[in-house]
Amino acid sequence: SQTIHQWPATLVQPVGSPLSLECTVEGTSNPNLYWYRQAAGRGLQLLFYSVGIGQISSEVPQNLSASRPQDRQFILSSKKLLLSDSGFYLCAWDTGTGTEAFFGQGTRLTVV
């Protein structure tokens, strides 16, 4: 069966520290992968999407970067966190064929 794992579920990091959130997918190959963020009081904002290994598209300029070292692994990173990076981060995947999408459990990041 198809599943998606995202960790950690919650994270508290000091300003200026690095960040690495990982997302892995099982049960499919060559998925489209997405990183979203929801800041307090706002809807989801698409941060990055990837249609294949090493192919990353960024929707908004920011303090974050993404990488896809393997077909079913998507990593969200930052070298130095800012207070404004606090939020709820969600990983998702779909097949790119216009059918259902699958979402990770999300990571609640608090930068202090």
Partner 1 sequence: GEDVEQSLFLSVREGDSSVINCTYTDSSSTYLYWYKQEPGAGLQLLTYIFSNMDMKQDQRLTVLLNKKDKHLSLRIADTQTGDSAIYFCAEGGSQGNLIFGKGTKLSVKP
Give the nearest distance from C-beta 40 to partner 1 in angstroms: 9
C-alpha 101/C-alpha 80 separation (Å) is 31
C-alpha 5/C-alpha 92 separation (Å) is 10
Binding site for partner 1 (CB under 8 A): 9-10, 34, 36, 38, 43-44, 46, 49, 59, 88, 90, 92, 96, 98-103, 105-106, 108
Q: Which is nearer to partner 1, 16 or 110 (CB)?
A: 110
C-alpha 50/C-alpha 79 separation (Å) is 21
C-alpha 68/C-alpha 71 separation (Å) is 7
Give the nearest distance from C-beta 101 to partner 1 in angstroms: 6
Contact indicator for 64, 79 with CB cutoff of 8 Å: no
Give the nearest distance from C-beta 97 to partner 1 in angstroms: 9
Q: Kindly tell me the burial class for residue 92, based on how many C-beta atoms sit within 10 Å of its own C-beta (0-12, 13-18, 19 or more).
A: buried
Q: Which is nearer to partner 1, 16 or 112 (CB)?
A: 112
Give the nearest distance from C-beta 47 to partner 1 in angstroms: 9
Q: Which is nearer to partner 1, 81 or 91 (CB)?
A: 91
